[in-house]
Amino acid sequence: MVSFVLGAVMVLFLMVPIFSSLGISVSGLGDVLTDGRTLNAIWVSFYCALLATVSMLILGVPFAYLFVHNSFPGKNVLDSLIDIPILIPHNTAGIALLFVLRPDSPLGTMFSMLGISFLDTVWGIIIAMAFVSAPFMIRSAQEAFSSVDPEMEKIGRSLGGTRFKVFANITFPLASRGILTGCLLTWARAVSEFGAVVLIAYFPKTAPIHLYDVFVSEGLAAALPINGLLILLAIVILVVFRVMVAKPRKDVYSNQR
């Protein structure tokens, strides 16, 4: 009985703010869906989060594979450092990125020579999103690779497969669901980022920054419809995530039968 009551309190604690604000914002959703500022901000968030996710997929998955399959001095220390972007306040992350990527810094100067600037640009949004969401990709990939039976990899190598072929045909397919989960978590975390993004790239505005601006300048009533739209999008993304993760795993060798 006590567990039921406490569980009900937890559900109410999580659901009441979400669905009450969603319910009161329904009447204004039509106007928000035709508001160019809001739609553009959502597009910027989705687009930059996608690029941040792809960059972390390219960098994070190989790192996670090497981390799982190799031992080296300082591995435990490095394993702890991976979680720092999650643990520090995200405005702290934004200031750290701003410090190393400002135009007069060595890195900022180097990128400027390549025509890349991070202050108030899409590049700044992407780098901030990637920084705060990287641990989600790395941890998911680590868990996925750790769950692969080493014996299957050994069999592949004993049959003459190179390490790359074993990875491409055995390890990666078996770990693909976990990596997909990492991609979705990374994207979801990136698209909702505010603290790090606002300090390095206030413009172009992402959805969280636009929502904050509307709330500060126009008040709660004007912000609620945008808030409701973002909640609806989050629910849709959650449903898609559940459907994709729940799909039956495809047999690694099905295409060889």
pTM of the predicted model as reported, rounded to 2 decimal places: 0.89
Q: Does domain 48-206 have CATH number 1.10.3720.10?
A: yes
pLDDT digits over 98-124, tens only? 999 999 999 999 999 999 999 999 999
DSSP summary character for residue 210: H
Domain boundaries, given as residue ranges, for the chain:
48-206
- Tens of each residue's pLDDT in the chain, 257 residues: 889 899 999 999 989 999 898 889 888 998 999 999 999 999 999 999 999 999 999 999 999 998 998 888 888 898 889 999 999 999 999 999 999 999 999 999 999 999 999 999 999 999 999 999 999 999 999 999 999 988 888 888 888 878 888 888 889 999 999 999 999 999 999 999 999 999 999 999 999 999 999 999 999 999 999 999 999 998 888 888 778 777 665 554 444 44
Are 227 and 38 in contact, with CB atoms under 8 Å apart? no
Q: 246 to each of 59, 115, 240, 249, 250, how far by Cα in Å? A: 26, 43, 10, 9, 12
